[in-house]
């Protein structure tokens, strides 16, 4: 009588596979089966030899691809597994199912399996406790399982179009979720590069993936670039995610906006008060934006320190607290140059129709920079050596066009340009 439930289940599974019915397949192989059905299947296979289960599955699924028999067999092992071994059974089931993945109608079940695998890893790690060996982490093992499945799908040699590869972004986003929790940011960068190569191919271009998956990938890619201090690429990916975030996703839009604003600040750009109010981020970034516009270094430091817990949780404290200093110096020097040029032009207006080569060469002395720093209330005021080092660093980064004369302590700028090129723009 108990085996009748297994027979019925196998018949339903066979029909789902033959008709490519993703909904029915998901119901048959659900990682969280209905209580009654799951209990019946578990009771039927409990204490039965694996050979009997394999024979029954092979007989009922005869004529289908051989791996479907293995999927059915592993699912029965999974529903019969106890709490301690359920994660391992789910890992084998997921790996086996990834091998039979062929078309998009199988993707909904794959998504459910991924979510269940991560949930079981969290449950297992919670039982192990914080004092357990890090190498025994089930979340780390889940990362390995998903990584192998992703590599298998991405490197599949089937001729295009290959629908299987359209599952890659789903798996990559799940991997990003795990890697960020494990703080494996170097691995995240490799994963971003791998996916960018994939979506550059015609049959797997980014537009072929669902919008939610594209937005999620761009969000994680932007954060990875931001942590690698690549603000232009971070802003580009985060802007893509921000603009294509579904209208009903207000919380997701605010989350993306947080990191996009940090990336823009690193490019010397400030968001408008209207945008901050729309996103509900005025309390977080409003005082900092106001301090930046007032060119007050103590106010900037105070605004960052006031939001220290939030910025630490975002992983952006060091970006703003240390790296933003270069952005501030550049903006301050640009303002100082504008003032000096205005004074020079007032004293000696350029002749009408004068060629660019006849324009005077503008120079900015360290004394003028020091005066600007004092106006910005930088305490303690930077020394001449510190200022010179900062100028040289900005020149090396390409944020200032010119050269520094060490003997005369002058920053010499070109005739034909301002000397302060526009940083990569990312208007919002």
Q: How confident is the model at residue 394 (pLDDT cuts 50, 70, 90)?
A: confident
Sign of CA dihedral 154, 158, 159, 164: negative
CA 51 vs CA 26, 40, 75, 99, 357: distances in Å: 26, 20, 15, 22, 89
Kind and range of the H or E run holding 331: helix 324-347
Give yes or no for residue 267 having a pLDDT over 70.
yes
Give yes or no for residue 1 having a pLDDT over 50.
no
Set out the domains of the chain in order of their start, with CATH numbers.
318-346+360-412 (1.10.10)
Q: What is the mean pLDDT of the chain?
A: 84
Those residues with Cβ within 8 angstroms of residue 419's Cβ, 6 or more apart along the chain or in another chain = 337, 362, 400, 401, 402, 413
Give yes or no for residue 287 having a pLDDT over 70.
yes
pLDDT at 187: 92
Nearest-5° Cα angle at 239, 237 to 242: 115
Query: What contacts 24+ positions apart, CB below 8 Å, involve 176-179?
Result: 176/216, 176/217, 176/220, 177/118, 178/118, 178/139, 178/142, 178/143, 178/146, 179/143
Q: Are 240 and 264 in contact (CB under 8 A)?
A: no
For the segment 32-41, what is each residue's pLDDT rounded down to a tens digit?
765 556 667 7
Residue 73, Cβ density class (10 Å: 0-12 exposed, 13-18 middle, ≥19 buried) = buried
Those residues with Cβ within 8 angstroms of residue 397's Cβ, 6 or more apart along the chain or in another chain = 326
For the segment 102-161, what is each residue's pLDDT rounded down to a tens digit?
889 999 999 999 999 999 999 988 887 755 555 568 999 999 999 999 999 999 888 878
Q: Are 140 and 134 in contact (CB under 8 A)?
A: yes
pLDDT at 425: 47
CA 305 vs CA 211, 321, 400: distances in Å: 37, 8, 29
Q: Are 167 and 100 in contact (CB under 8 A)?
A: no
Kind and range of the H or E run holding 365: strand 363-365
Q: Are 125 and 45 in contact (CB under 8 A)?
A: no
Best mean pLDDT range from 55-64, 339-348, 363-372: 363-372
How far is it, in rounded angstroms, from Cα 232 to Cα 253? Answer: 20
DSSP state of 276: H
Q: How confident is the model at residue 416 (pLDDT cuts 50, 70, 90)?
A: low
For the segment 92-108, what is each residue's pLDDT rounded down to a tens digit?
999 999 998 988 999 99
pTM equals 0.85
- Helix (H/G/I), strand (E/B), else coil: 368: helix
Query: What contacts 24+ positions apart, CB below 8 Å, involve 271-276?
Result: 271/428, 275/428
Give yes or no for residue 427 having a pLDDT over 70.
no
Those residues with Cβ within 8 angstroms of residue 287's Cβ, 6 or more apart along the chain or in another chain = 299, 302, 303, 306
Those residues with Cβ within 8 angstroms of residue 355's Cβ, 6 or more apart along the chain or in another chain = none
pLDDT at 399: 80
- Helix (H/G/I), strand (E/B), else coil: 405: strand
pLDDT at 236: 94
CA 73 vs CA 64, 146, 220: distances in Å: 14, 21, 36
């Amino acid at each position: 009588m108990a085996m009748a439930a297994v027979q019925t289940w196998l018949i339903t599974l066979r029909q789902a596979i033959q008709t490519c019915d993703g909904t029915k397949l998901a119901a048959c192989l659900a990682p969280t089966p209905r209580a009654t059905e799951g209990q019946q299947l578990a009771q039927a296979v409990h204490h039965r030899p694996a050979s009997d289960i394999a024979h029954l599955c092979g007989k009922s699924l005869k004529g289908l691809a051989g791996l479907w028999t293995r999927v059915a067999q592993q699912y029965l092992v999974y529903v019969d597994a106890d709490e301690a071994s359920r994660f391992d059974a789910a890992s084998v089931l997921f790996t086996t199912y990834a091998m039979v993945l062929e078309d998009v109608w199988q993707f909904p079940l794959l998504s459910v399996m991924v979510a269940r695998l991560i949930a079981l890893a969290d449950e297992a790690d919670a039982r192990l406790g914080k004092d357990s060996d890090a190498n025994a982490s089930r979340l780390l093992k889940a990362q390995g399982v998903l990584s192998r499945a992703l590599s298998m799908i991405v490197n599949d040699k089937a001729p295009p179009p290959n629908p299987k590869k359209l599952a890659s972004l789903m798996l990559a986003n799940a991997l990003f979720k795990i890697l960020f929790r494990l703080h494996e940011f170097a691995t995240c960068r490799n994963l971003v590069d791998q996916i960018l190569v994939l979506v550059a191919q015609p049959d797997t271009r980014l537009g072929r993936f669902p919008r939610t998956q594209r937005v999620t990938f761009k969000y994680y890619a932007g954060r990875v670039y931001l942590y690698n201090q690549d603000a232009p690429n971070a802003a580009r990916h985060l802007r893509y995610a921000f603009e294509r975030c579904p209208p009903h996703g207000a919380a997701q839009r605010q989350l993306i906006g947080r990191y996009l604003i940090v990336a823009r600040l690193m490019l010397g750009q400030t968001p408008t008060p209207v945008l901050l109010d729309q996103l509900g981020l005025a309390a977080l970034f409003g005082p900092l934006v106001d301090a930046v516009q007032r060119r007050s270094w103590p106010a900037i430091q105070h605004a960052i320190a006031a939001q220290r817990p939030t910025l630490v949780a975002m992983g952006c404290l060091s970006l703003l607290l240390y790296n933003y200093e270069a952005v501030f110096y550049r903006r301050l020097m640009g303002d100082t140059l504008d003032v000096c040029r205005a004074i020079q032009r007032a004293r000696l207006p350029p002749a009408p129709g004068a060629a660019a080569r006849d324009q005077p060469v503008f120079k900015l002395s360290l004394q003028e920079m020091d005066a600007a720093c004092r106006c910005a209330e930088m305490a303690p005021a930077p020394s001449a050596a510190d200022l010179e080092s900062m100028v040289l660093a900005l020149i090396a980064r390409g944020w200032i066009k010119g050269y520094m004369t060490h003997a005369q302590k002058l920053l010499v700028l070109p005739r034909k340009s301002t000397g302060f090129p526009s940083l990569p723009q990312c208007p919002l």
